[in-house]
Amino acid sequence: MPTYKAPVDDALFLLNDVFNYERYGNLPGFADATPDVVKAILEEGGKFAEEVLQPLNQIGDRQGCKRGDDGAVTTPEGFKEAYGQMAEAGWIGLIASPDYGGQGLPYTLGVILNEFISSANMAFGMYPGLSNGAYVALDKHGSDDQKALYLPRLASGKWSGTMNLTEPHCGTDLGLIRTKAVPQGDGSYKITGTKIFISAGEHDLTENIVHLVLARIEGAEEGVKGISLFVVPKFLPDGEGNPGDRNAVECGSLEEKMGIHGNATCVMNYDGATGWLVGEAHKGLRAMFTMMNEARLGVGIQGLAQSEVAYQNAAEYARDRLQGRALTGEAAPDKPADPIIVHPDVRRMLMNQKAFNEAARALVIWSALKADVTRGSHDEAEKQAAEDHMGLLTPVIKGVLTDTGFMNAVAAQQIYGGHGYIAEHGMEQFVRDARIAQIYEGANGIQALDLVGRKLPRDGGRAMMAFFKEVTDFVGEHGEDEAMKPYVEPLGKAAKDLERATMWFMANAMAKPDNAGAGSTDYMHLFGLVALAYMWAMIAKTAQGKLAAGEGDKEWLEAKLVTGRYFMQRILPETGAHVRRIEAGADTMMALPAEAF
CB of 410 to a copy of itself, least distance (A): 8
Contact between 172 and a copy of itself by CB under 8 A: the answer reads yes
Nearest C-alpha neighbor of 230 from the set 317, 113, 314, 142: 142
Pattern of binders to a copy of itself over 174-213, x per CB under 8 A?
A: -xx-------------------xx----------------
CB of 363 to a copy of itself, least distance (A): 21
Contacts (CB under 8 A) with a copy of itself, residues 278-317: 315
Contact between 552 and a copy of itself by CB under 8 A: the answer reads no
Asked if 217 and 181 count as a contact pair (C-beta separation under 8 A), the reply is yes
Straight-line distance from the first to the last Cα atom of the chain, in angstroms, rounded to the nearest whole number: 44
Contact between 3 and a copy of itself by CB under 8 A: the answer reads no
Neighbouring CB atoms inside 10 A of 219's CB total 9
Comparison of 338 and 372: residue with beta carbon closer to a copy of itself: 338
Q: What are phi and psi of 98, to 5 degrees?
A: -60, -25
Contacts (CB under 8 A) with a copy of itself, residues 382-411: 406, 410
Neighbouring CB atoms inside 10 A of 424's CB total 11
Comparison of 111 and 341: residue with beta carbon closer to a copy of itself: 341
Comparison of 3 and 85: residue with beta carbon closer to a copy of itself: 3
Report the residue from 520, 528, 531, 540 that binds a copy of itself according to the rule CB under 8 A: 520
Contact between 232 and a copy of itself by CB under 8 A: the answer reads no
CB of 357 to a copy of itself, least distance (A): 11
Contact between 319 and a copy of itself by CB under 8 A: the answer reads yes
Comparison of 465 and 507: residue with beta carbon closer to a copy of itself: 507
Stretch in the footprint of a copy of itself (CB under 8 A) among 50-58, 121-129, 156-164, 564-572: 564-572
Neighbouring CB atoms inside 10 A of 387's CB total 17
Report the residue from 439, 466, 489, 500 that binds a copy of itself according to the rule CB under 8 A: 439
CB of 379 to a copy of itself, least distance (A): 38
Nearest C-alpha neighbor of 457 from the set 407, 410, 523: 523
C-alpha–C-alpha distance, residues 88 and 246, integer Å: 26
Integer angstrom CA distances of residue 432 from 6, 258, 259, 296:
21, 6, 5, 19
Catalytic residue among 441, 499, 558, 583: 441
How many amino acids of this chain bind a copy of itself (CB under 8 A)? 96
Asked if 399 and 447 count as a contact pair (C-beta separation under 8 A), the reply is yes
Secondary structure letter of residue 595 according to DSSP: G
Contacts (CB under 8 A) with a copy of itself, residues 37-76: none
C-alpha–C-alpha distance, residues 273 and 191, integer Å: 5
Q: Left (φ > 0), alpha (ψ -120 to 50) or beta: where does 316 sit?
A: alpha
Contact between 573 and a copy of itself by CB under 8 A: the answer reads yes
Nearest C-alpha neighbor of 108 from the set 332, 337, 361: 361
Asked if 362 and 535 count as a contact pair (C-beta separation under 8 A), the reply is yes
Write the CB contacts of 326 (distance below 8 Å, at least 6 apart in sequence): 338, 342, 343
3-state secondary structure of 530: helix
Contacts (CB under 8 A) with a copy of itself, residues 150-169: 166, 169
Write the CB contacts of 204 (distance below 8 Å, at least 6 apart in sequence): 72, 73, 74, 75, 80
CB of 140 to a copy of itself, least distance (A): 26
Contact between 521 and a copy of itself by CB under 8 A: the answer reads yes
CB of 476 to a copy of itself, least distance (A): 24
CB of 196 to a copy of itself, least distance (A): 8
Neighbouring CB atoms inside 10 A of 107's CB total 25
CB of 312 to a copy of itself, least distance (A): 9
Contacts (CB under 8 A) with a copy of itself, residues 495-514: 513-514
Comparison of 503 and 577: residue with beta carbon closer to a copy of itself: 577
The answer to whether 489 is a known catalytic residue is no
Contacts (CB under 8 A) with a copy of itself, residues 334-373: 336-337, 339, 341, 343-351, 354
CB of 368 to a copy of itself, least distance (A): 26
Comparison of 42 and 355: residue with beta carbon closer to a copy of itself: 355
Comparison of 255 and 382: residue with beta carbon closer to a copy of itself: 255
Comparison of 86 and 341: residue with beta carbon closer to a copy of itself: 341
Contacts (CB under 8 A) with a copy of itself, residues 233-272: 255-259
Stretch in the footprint of a copy of itself (CB under 8 A) among 95-103, 383-391, 414-422, 460-468: 414-422
Contact between 449 and a copy of itself by CB under 8 A: the answer reads yes
CB of 231 to a copy of itself, least distance (A): 23
Q: Which residues pair with 229 in a beta bridge?
A: 214, 278
Please report how many Cα atoms fall inside a 13 Å half-sphere around the Cα of residue 258, on the Cβ side: 11
C-alpha–C-alpha distance, residues 371 and 364, integer Å: 10
Report the residue from 432, 455, 478, 525 that binds a copy of itself according to the rule CB under 8 A: 432
Q: Left (φ > 0), alpha (ψ -120 to 50) or beta: where does 104 sit?
A: left
Comparison of 482 and 555: residue with beta carbon closer to a copy of itself: 555
Secondary structure letter of residue 441 according to DSSP: S
Asked if 302 and 263 count as a contact pair (C-beta separation under 8 A), the reply is no
Integer angstrom CA distances of residue 304 from 399, 511, 546:
11, 37, 26
The catalytic site residues sit at 441
